Amino acid sequence: MGNNPSYVWRSIIETQGVIKQGCRKKIDSWYWLLEDKGQFSVRSCYRILRGEEVCVDRMLWKKIWKLQLPGKVINLVWRAARNVLPTTVALQGKQVNIDVNCEWCKGAAETAVHVLFECSFAREIRETVGLYSRVLTGGNDSVKEVLKQAFTTATNEQCALIGVICWCLWFRRNKWVWEKINSSVFGIKSMALNMLQEWKKAQEETCKSGTGVHVHTRQWCPPPEGWIKINIDASCRQDSEYVGVGCVVRNERGEFLRARTTLVQGRSYAREAEALSLKEALSWVKTWRTQKCIFESDAKLLVDAIHAGHSNSTFDTIVEDCRELIKHFREVLVMFVLRSANNVAHSLAQAAYSMSGPQEWYHTAPDFILCNLALEGI
Ligand SMILES: [Zn+2]
């Protein structure tokens, strides 16, 4: 082109580089990463030429953030994309002398991209949920690259599913590596779909309220340091003289401490049942002389009643009993949470009907709440 290439030629050559920067090959079509729909646009091309750096990274974070996934999922995706997950390869980089091969397939070094996308288990999960063609790994790609490409063409729901699957795969990996607990494809798939379901419900709730003020209570969160949290729930059956009540106790690290489920004689109206579940939990916890307790119920009416005045219905009599019991605690809070943040207690209350009598668990949680405990885990 000689020493004095025309402005036009220089522009064309520069543009070629920019186009290469913005594209990733996806089977036989090219996707332009800078636009939402993956379409090439002159405008985004100019933006790069003008020096407004390839903001693909920022777009990825913005997208992940906007999805309003549970905090733990965002956290995992963030760590994976920044390549700071403690995989064996990452640990070896820190001079820990270990075998870098994937503990599951033994077929490759365990990088984040391997665990979350390339391992045979990850591929199988993606296939069963219909995401196989959505997420493509180009061999040496980083998690960030894979996500960028996938998020470019996926719908919000698909993006959310990719996010929760990543979380579930990492959860499963840790169970396998540290405890040699093997989860099935079916188990992990249902865990991911459950989380997606919760996410969809939360999206609808946020839409309805219009503000998203309840975002913080959407998901179970641990109590402050030095406190324990007791989640309670009740379940009723129309033909039964009994109410199933359940409660689960966890500490500030979200660790399982105790759980209890039992049937209590009582009328099966929802609000009385909820009040009975609180009364039962208060009587149970009272004897431990624990200083700081937070009781959480998803029955707003009950929580409001505890904090309000009283009249003389059956419901109010039980509420009055609860208030009496509360006096035995030094510091106690009774709080409302959304149903989506109260799954463990809900399962326990329902289980009461299939137990031969009251059941209590210490230190080791019963099988049927393990999945929900993990989902509510931090
Ligand atoms: Zn593997």
Q: How far is the CA of 133 from the centre of ligand 1 (A)?
A: 19
366-to-40, 69, 213 alpha-carbon distances in Å = 53, 28, 34
Helix, coil or strand: residue 305 = helix
Interhelix angle 185-209/367-376, nearest 10 degrees:
50
Q: How far is the CA of 12 from the centre of ligand 1 (A)?
A: 44
Q: How far is the CA of 24 from the centre of ligand 1 (A)?
A: 25
- What pLDDT, on the 0 to 100 scale, is given for residue 168? 94
HSE (side-chain half, CA atoms, 13 Å) at 55: 15
- What pLDDT, on the 0 to 100 scale, is given for residue 211? 45
Distance of CA 173 to the CA centre of its chain: 16
**Stretch 194-211: mean pLDDT:** 74
Q: What is the largest CA-CA distance in the chain?
A: 97
Q: Is the pLDDT of residue 284 over 80?
A: yes
b/e per residue 231-248 (b: at least 16 CB within 10 A): bbbbbbeeeeebbbbbbb
- What pLDDT, on the 0 to 100 scale, is given for residue 93? 78
- The amino acid present at 192, given as its one-letter code, is A
**Stretch 177-203: mean pLDDT:** 85
- Distance of alpha carbon 347 from alpha carbon 374, whole angstroms: 13
Q: How far is the CA of 180 from the centre of ligand 1 (A)?
A: 15
Q: Which residue has the higher pLDDT, 100 or 330?
A: 100
Q: How far is the CA of 113 from the centre of ligand 1 (A)?
A: 10
Q: How far is the CA of 289 from the centre of ligand 1 (A)?
A: 48
Residues 6+ apart with CB under 8 A from 63: 151, 159
Q: How far is the CA of 114 from the centre of ligand 1 (A)?
A: 6
Q: How far is the CA of 96 from the centre of ligand 1 (A)?
A: 20
Q: How far is the CA of 373 from the centre of ligand 1 (A)?
A: 26
pLDDT > 70: percent of the chain: 79
Backbone angles phi, psi at 250, to 5 degrees: -130, 155
Contact 91, 98 (CB under 8 A): yes
- What pLDDT, on the 0 to 100 scale, is given for residue 35? 39
**Stretch 334-358: mean pLDDT:** 87
Q: How far is the CA of 25 from the centre of ligand 1 (A)?
A: 25
Q: How far is the CA of 163 from the centre of ligand 1 (A)?
A: 19
> Of 195, 217, 242, 374, whose CA–CA distance to 303 is shortest?
217
Helix, coil or strand: residue 347 = helix
**Stretch 65-70: mean pLDDT:** 79
Q: How far is the CA of 126 from the centre of ligand 1 (A)?
A: 14
pTM score > 0.75 for this model?
no
Q: Is the pLDDT of residue 121 over 80?
A: yes
**Stretch 46-54: mean pLDDT:** 44
Q: Is the pLDDT of residue 253 over 70?
A: yes
- What pLDDT, on the 0 to 100 scale, is given for residue 16? 52
Query: Residue 207 has which token pair?
Result: 């839409």
Q: Which residue has the higher pLDDT, 64 or 48?
A: 64
**Stretch 96-119: mean pLDDT:** 90
Residue written as tokens 């179970």? 220
Q: How far is the CA of 272 from the centre of ligand 1 (A)?
A: 51
- What pLDDT, on the 0 to 100 scale, is given for residue 378? 59
Q: How far is the CA of 125 from the centre of ligand 1 (A)?
A: 13
Residues 6+ apart with CB under 8 A from 246: 232, 233, 234, 235, 259, 260, 261, 277, 345, 346, 347, 348, 349, 350, 351, 352
Q: How far is the CA of 194 from the centre of ligand 1 (A)?
A: 24
Helix, coil or strand: residue 233 = strand
Q: How far is the CA of 308 from the centre of ligand 1 (A)?
A: 56
Model confidence at 54, pLDDT cuts 50, 70, 90, reads very low
Q: How far is the CA of 351 from the centre of ligand 1 (A)?
A: 37
Model confidence at 140, pLDDT cuts 50, 70, 90, reads low
84-to-71, 333, 355 alpha-carbon distances in Å = 17, 38, 45
Give residue-wise pLDDT tens across range 288-304: 888 788 899 988 888 87
- What pLDDT, on the 0 to 100 scale, is given for residue 56? 54
CATH code of the region 228-376:
3.30.420.10
Model confidence at 189, pLDDT cuts 50, 70, 90, reads confident
Q: How far is the CA of 140 from the centre of ligand 1 (A)?
A: 15
Model confidence at 21, pLDDT cuts 50, 70, 90, reads very low
The Cβ of residue 56 has, within 10 Å, a number of other Cβ atoms equal to 19
- What pLDDT, on the 0 to 100 scale, is given for residue 258? 95
Contact 351, 311 (CB under 8 A): no
Q: Is the pLDDT of residue 117 over 70?
A: yes
User: What's the mean per-residue pLDDT of the chain?
Assistant: 78
Model confidence at 33, pLDDT cuts 50, 70, 90, reads very low
Q: How far is the CA of 243 from the centre of ligand 1 (A)?
A: 47
- What pLDDT, on the 0 to 100 scale, is given for residue 23? 44
- What pLDDT, on the 0 to 100 scale, is given for residue 41? 43
Model confidence at 268, pLDDT cuts 50, 70, 90, reads low
Q: How far is the CA of 106 from the centre of ligand 1 (A)?
A: 6
- Distance of alpha carbon 213 from alpha carbon 374, whole angstroms: 25
Q: Where are the domains of the chain?
A: 7-49, 56-217, 228-376
Q: How far is the CA of 153 from the centre of ligand 1 (A)?
A: 26
- What pLDDT, on the 0 to 100 scale, is given for residue 277? 94
Q: How far is the CA of 111 from the centre of ligand 1 (A)?
A: 9
Q: How far is the CA of 121 from the centre of ligand 1 (A)?
A: 7
- What pLDDT, on the 0 to 100 scale, is given for residue 377? 73
Which range has highest mean pLDDT (82-86, 135-139, 233-237)? Answer: 233-237
CA dihedral 259, 263, 266, 270 (to 10 degrees): 60
DSSP code at position 101: B
Q: Is the pLDDT of residue 160 over 60?
A: yes
